[in-house]
Amino acid sequence: MAASTTSILTRKPQNVAVETNPSHELNVVQVDTPSPGPTECLVHVTATGICGSDVHFWKDGCIGTSVIDRPVGLGHESAGVVVQTGKECGRVKVGDRVALECGIPCSKPTCEACRTGRYHACPAIIFYSSPPVPGTLRRYHAHPEAWLHVLPDSISDEEGALLEPLSVALAGIERSGLRLGESLVICGAGPIGLVTLLAAHAAGAAPIVITDLEASRLEMAKRLVPRVRTLLVERGRDAKANAELIKQELGREAKLVIECTGAESSIHTGIYASQFGGAVYVIGVGKDFQQIPFMYASFREIDIRFQFRYHETYPKAIMLVSEGLIDLKPLVTHRFTLEQGREAFEAASNPAAKAVKVQLLDG
C-alpha cells in the first residue's frame, strides 16, 4: 500500500485548490502541500461535492457573518485516501479511504458544547471553507485524525463525499423527531432536499410531498422514492396558493415541514401548509433578515425551528449507506476534474445544466 501511495504523490506532486475572493472571482490555484502535524493525516482528496454554500460564498461573498475578505479555498464535502500520518496517529493508517468531517471543535473539557456532545455549537469551532479557513476542495489536505471517518469497501469515494449533505439531513430528521407514518413536506428538491427525502423515506415518513421550481429535480425525486408526491412550484404563485396545492397532494395538513431552500416565499409556504401544532424546520441558507406570517403561525402554534450543521452523524450515515437503506449514487449528475473548477461551479450554479450534485474528482 505504501508503494502505491508514493506513486500517487509522484504522479501528482502539485497541490491544486479552488478558491474565491472579495471580487467574486473563481480561481484554480497552486498552493503549498501541508505537512501533517502529530495528530493529523495528509489526505489525497479524491472527491469533493459543490455545496450551495460554496456557490453563495462565490456569488454573494458572504453567508451571514461569514464574509469573504481575502482569497479563501472552497469545499467541505470531501472524501479521499490517507497518504501520510502524523507521529501520534494510530487509528487511521496510510491507504485508508476516509470521509472528512469538516467542523473541528476545540474538544476542551472546559467547553460546555464539546463536553455535552453538541460540538457543532463550540464557540471556537473551525469549519473548513468558512472564512477565513480554507476548504477541502484541493488535492492534498491535512486533517485531524479524530475527524476522519474510515470508509468500508462498499462505499465509494463519491458516496463518501455525499456523507456531508446526508449528515445535514440526518441532523434535521433526528432533531425534528420525525416518526413512522407521519406526514412530511420537503420544500426544495436540491441536494439537501433529496437526501432529506431519502432519509425521511428510510425513517418511515408517509405520505411525503416534495416541491421545487425545476421539473427535472422532481423527476429525480420520483426516481429516488417512487411513492413520493411532487409539486412543481410556479414562479410568482402566492405562498398560500402553493400551500393549498401541497395540502391537496398530501391529503391533509403537514405535521412536519423541512424547508431546504432558505427562500422567504418557500418558508411562508411551509408555514401555511402546516397543521395546528405542526413544525417547520429551516435547513436552507437564506437572506440575513426575512419576514414571516407571524400571527398565522402564532394562532396555530406552529413551531419554527432552525438547523445548524450536525454532530455525531457520520457513523450513522456510513451505516445507513453501507447497509443499503440509503442509496446516494444517483445524486451525482455532473463530474469534473479538479482543474475544471470553474466549469464545475458554472454547472452547479446554472439551472440550465440541470445538475443535482456536482463533484470534482481527482483519482
How does pLDDT run across 220-278, given as a tens digit for each residue? 999 999 999 999 999 989 999 999 999 999 999 999 999 999 999 999 999 999 999 99
Domain hosting residue 240, numbered range: 169-306
The total number of structural domains that make up the chain:
2
Assess whether 237 and 191 both reside in one domain. Answer: yes
Kindly tell me if the per-residue pLDDT of 334 is higher than 60: yes
Give the pLDDT confidence of 145-159 residue by residue, as tens digits.
999 999 999 999 999
Assess whether 79 and 136 both reside in one domain. Answer: yes
Assess whether 124 and 37 both reside in one domain. Answer: yes
Residue 315 counted as domain residue: no
Assess whether 118 and 210 both reside in one domain. Answer: no
Assess whether 17 and 144 both reside in one domain. Answer: yes
Assess whether 232 and 354 both reside in one domain. Answer: no
Residue 90's alpha-carbon distances to 42, 87, 142, in angstroms, are 14, 8, 16
Residue 33 counted as domain residue: yes
* CATH number for the domain harbouring residue 205: 3.40.50.720
* CATH number for the domain harbouring residue 31: 3.90.180.10
Distance of CA 237 to the CA centre of its chain: 28
Residue 145 counted as domain residue: yes
Assess whether 181 and 93 both reside in one domain. Answer: no
Query: What is the distance between the alpha carbons of residues 355 and 191, in angstroms, rounded to a whole number?
Result: 9
At 181 the three-state DSSP class reads coil
Across the chain, mean pLDDT equals 94
Assess whether 173 and 241 both reside in one domain. Answer: yes
226 Cβ partners below 8 Å, 6+ apart?
none
Q: How many CB atoms lie within 10 A of CB 353?
A: 15
Residue 283 counted as domain residue: yes
Residue 155 counted as domain residue: no
**β 184-187/126-127 pair status:** unpaired
